[in-house]
Amino acid sequence: MATPDLNLLRVFDVMLEERNVTRAGARLGLTQSAVSHALNRLRYTLNDELFLRGPSGMQPTPRALEMGPQVHAALNQLQAALAFPDFDPATSERRFTVSAGSYACGVLAPPLVGRLAVEAPLAELVIMERAGDVVERLDARRLDFLVGGVVSAPERFARDPILTETMAWVVARNHPLAAARAVTLEQLVEFPHAAITGGPKELRNPEADRRALVPQASWEDAGAFEAALAARGLSRRLGVQVPDTYSALAVVARTNMAALIPRRLAELSAQSGRITLIEPPYSSPSVEVTLLYLKERLNEPAIAWMRDVIRDVAAGL
């Protein structure tokens, strides 16, 4: 491109994120036809279709996926170079993106949204589920933060401990164990369990770093329960495996199953009166919840501010 049109690249960047012409136009302040015209110009220039219509929206071609992170990073660097160094949350219309599971959505998101409504009323918060390409999104600055349990991460990422969580077993309100003063390990394994399998165990960006971002695979208290069973010569029966804590809570509330849940989320759910908490009948370690982000991004005033807000909200819990 002898004379690259940055407006075309901006349209491409937003389309790659939205995968929808109408939504991309709304974010850019353009009509649907204007977005389509810009994409056609870029297709002609690059000699690639870039986006093809599919059953779930506009799907990027391999060429679009290849150039996407570099284009996004370049646009962000240009924007940072031209932007004012100061950040005023009271007037900013910035979009903050956070990757989080059901636990963070249930426990951390409500007070965080309330805090932003007061201090940054024009800002937008986007919370997305944890996906296998989270490393690429963080590196390309399509994602600002990841909230969750992280076992290890490449050196370029900062990991701030923001919460220490303990675990509790939950059963339905009318479950036979609900009325017991103290449940034994033997009683706990008499009933089937709903186990949380969690998300992807390794999230890699092999081109950027050989080491993987390894999140905590599940909320299974670091194997303490399984170790306690082995010590007693006991075993448990899995009734179902579910992807997240909310699914486990929904199953428990309607069946005779038990599930191991982060305590804060269990206590919130118990307020509905549909479940009862049971203390683990064994030594159960705490779990650390972390805030993960690129270290170099603390040079951005908006990111530094949001990092402090998330940490402060978590401390208030």
* Cβ burial 94-105 (10 Å sphere, 16+ → b, else e): bebbbbbbbbbb
- For residue 201, name the pLDDT band (cuts at 50, 70, 90): very low
Instruction: Supply the pLDDT for residue 130.
Output: 78
Task: Kindly report the pTM of this predicted structure.
Answer: 0.70
Share of the chain above pLDDT 90, in %: 57
Give the bridge partners for 294, in sequence order: 157
Of 114-118, 175-179, 215-219, give the lowest mean pLDDT range: 215-219
Q: Which residue has the higher pLDDT, 144 or 200?
A: 144
pLDDT at 255 over 50: yes
CA distance 285 to 267: 18
Q: 167-285 sits in which CATH class? A: alpha beta
Q: Which residue has the higher pLDDT, 294 or 80?
A: 294
Q: pLDDT over 70 for what percent of the chain?
A: 91
Q: Whole-angstrom Cα distance, residue 246 to residue 220?
A: 15
- Delimit the CATH 3.40.190.10 region(s) of the chain: 84-163+287-317, 167-285
Q: What is the CATH number of domain 84-163+287-317?
A: 3.40.190.10
Evaluate if residue 70 carries a pLDDT over 50.
yes
More confident residue, 85 or 3: 85
Cβ atoms of 59 and 51 closer than 8 Å: yes
Residues of the chain with CATH 1.10.10.10: 1-80
CATH code at 1-80: 1.10.10.10
Quote the pLDDT of residue 215. Answer: 66
Asked whether the predicted pLDDT for residue 106 surpasses 80, the reply is: yes
- Res 82 pLDDT > 80: no
Confidence grade of residue 126 (pLDDT, cut at 50, 70, 90):
very high
Q: How many CB atoms lie under 10 A from the CB of residue 245?
A: 27
The confidence score (pLDDT) of residue 119 equals 97
